[in-house]
Structure 1
Amino acid sequence: MGGSGAESAPQAPRSSYAGAPPYADYVGLDRLLSLQTPRTDEPTEVSFLVASQVMELLFALLKHEWSTARGLLEADEVAEATRVLRRSVRQADVLVASWDLLATLTPAEFAAFREALGEASGFQSHLYRELEFLLGLKRPAALLPYEGVPDVHAELDAVLHAPSLYDAALDVLRRRGLPLPPADPAARLRPHESDPDAERAWAEVYATGTAYPDLRDLGEALTDISERWTRWRERHLAATLRALGNRPGTGGSSGAEWLERTVRLRVFPDLWTMRTSVV
């Protein structure tokens, strides 16, 4: 038998570099850490600031994934699009869990730095708005806060008028011959509601002995995303109630009352309502 039989010792990570270890440069660590600049001496403001920044990074990641998946669906690469969407579900789980960073914030702690926020509010996040548009939650009036930021306004306007992730999924069903009327671009800017034709098409996809297993997998991945989006909004509502009660929210909203309305808006509603009629 060849070899000495001796096992080689585990190799420790390299510990000597001519300059700084390359990891910090790759992740932009110095720039990243320079962004935590609280405006008060209240210790919990750091948690609030970091949680907000973490969510923005996750918004950007989900925007990348869902835009990628939409492009794959437009190219009829359903299996690969579904793989990307399933990956994004794990990322959405992290987004939901990021509310844990604020779960212990009390009304007194929030009040100690709330005035320093001024009119700043998470509702003003343009990345969050882009995610809503990608999911099909489209309201032209949502662009109004960004009129003073031409680049952001133009980017949002483009996403508003482009097909959503769900539009791309329905187009795949059309190309497979499922009973859906031709796409109506104008309808994509109307209120987000269940559509009987889409319900029937998805019910056929999900029917016993389905001839569309890849489309059913796609539907389940989209349903997972819808569920996570609802969970994120529910956690937002809970965090607001813990820190504010029923007082007005930042940015001029009515706070928890407004959030309770948004929680009831389920994305991809056809994928939920059609389940009653699947046989």
Structure 2
Amino acid sequence: MSDGYDPSSEGAQMSFDGRMSYGDYLGLDRILTAQHPLSTAHDEMLFIIQHQTSELWLKLALHEMNAARDRIGAGELQPAFKMLTRVARIMEQLNSAWDVLRTMTPSEYTDFRESLGESSGFQSHQYRLIEFVAGNRNMAMIRPHEHRPELARILTEEIARPSLYDTVLERLRLAGFDIPARERLDQPHQPNDAARMAWAAIYRDPARYWELYELAEKLVDFEDYFRRWRFNHVTTVERIIGFKRGSGGTSGVNYLRRMLDVVLFPDLWELRTEL
């Protein structure tokens, strides 16, 4: 019988006294001790980790979206394509997470739901910031964060900036399309005839406008996966709590269904009817 394999015989580091280890680099002590269930229910750990990991993915999505906006503003579209593709894949990852949460039954959720108090995913400032960066802006949605002035400030400052889609439309203007600038950056994007006509021209002649054509499809990819994430959220909530009110006071499933009607880039969807 041979002895067990020793990776150090091939150069693997086995001693980390005074050296940076895997756990040190990733800050795993903080991450893995950040779960504090408030009940004895077995499934509360699932619920906490599901939402904590989702927030980490949302942080990465914001990192990529902000970088993509900067690159698009600088006219560097190729790097932005990679970033927007990554955002779509992050949304795909978030979609898969609902499959794990759906293993929890209504009775299992009931065991710890009271422990949540009035906390709710509705109050996720990162989710709201993703909407604001994309262009779906609603000043009322800052109010749930006013108890944390630093979070309210982040959202307020974002509303003062051109959105990702505003930056994209500026690229179309620079390409020669006559599209009026928005007067109110604190309002959601509404369908714009001039923008829709510009996109239709781009889609009719992709060889001439290849980079703008590809940019449009990257935005549609992102919104496609974002819509799926919203739909899976609705389905998961209905499966677990039915039509009860949300823990944060919303109408629950009815509120989430209403959010399904929100379109981030309406011009890019409406032009398809014209082609």
Q: TM-score range by the shorter chain?
A: over 0.9
| Structure 1 partner of 2:218 | 221
Q: Given the two structures, how large is their TM-score scaled by the length of structure 1? A: 0.91
Three-state SS of the structure 2 residue aligned to 1:67 is helix
Q: Which amino acid aligns with 2:183?
A: P
Q: Is the counterpart of residue 244 in structure 1 residue 241 in structure 2?
A: yes
Gap regions ≥5 residues in structure 1: 1-9
Q: Which moved more, 1:112-121 or 1:190-199?
A: 190-199
Deviation at 1:271? 0.9
| Structure 1 partner of 2:6 | none
Three-state SS of the structure 2 residue aligned to 1:14 is coil
Q: Is the 8 A contact 2:119 2:247 kept in 1?
A: yes
Q: Structure 1's 16 and 241: CA in aligned 2 closer, same or farther, altered over 3 A? A: same
Distance in 1, matches of 2:126 and 2:253, equals 22
Q: Which amino acid aligns with 1:72?
A: R
Q: Which amino acid aligns with 1:252?
A: G
| Structure 1 partner of 2:25 | 26
Q: Which moved more, 1:125-134 or 1:20-29?
A: 20-29
Distance in 1, matches of 2:64 and 2:242, equals 35
| Structure 2 partner of 1:144 | 143
Deviation at 1:36? 1.0
Distance in 1, matches of 2:224 and 2:206, equals 26
Q: Which moved more, 1:15-24 or 1:146-155?
A: 15-24
Q: Is the 8 A contact 1:92 1:225 kept in 2?
A: yes
| Structure 2 partner of 1:35 | 34
C-alpha RMSD of matched pairs (Å): 1.6
What is the 5 A alignment of 1:1-279?
11=10, 13-18=12-17, 22-181=21-180, 183-186=181-184, 188-208=185-205, 210-278=207-275
Q: Structure 1's 277 and 210: CA in aligned 2 closer, same or farther, altered over 3 A? A: farther
Deviation at 1:17? 3.2
Q: Is the 8 A contact 2:57 2:90 kept in 1?
A: yes
Q: Given the two structures, how large is their TM-score scaled by the length of structure 2? A: 0.92
Three-state SS of the structure 1 residue aligned to 2:248 is helix
Distance in 2, matches of 1:91 and 1:247, equals 29
Q: Structure 1's 209 and 159: CA in aligned 2 closer, same or farther, altered over 3 A? A: closer
Identity of aligned residues (%): 38
Gap regions ≥5 residues in structure 2: 1-8
Deviation at 1:191? 4.0
Q: Deviations over 1:50-75 (max 9, x none)?
A: 00001110111111100000011111
Distance in 1, matches of 2:270 and 2:10, equals 56
Deviation at 1:117? 0.1
Q: Structure 1's 50 and 207: CA in aligned 2 closer, same or farther, altered over 3 A? A: same
Deviation at 1:139? 0.5
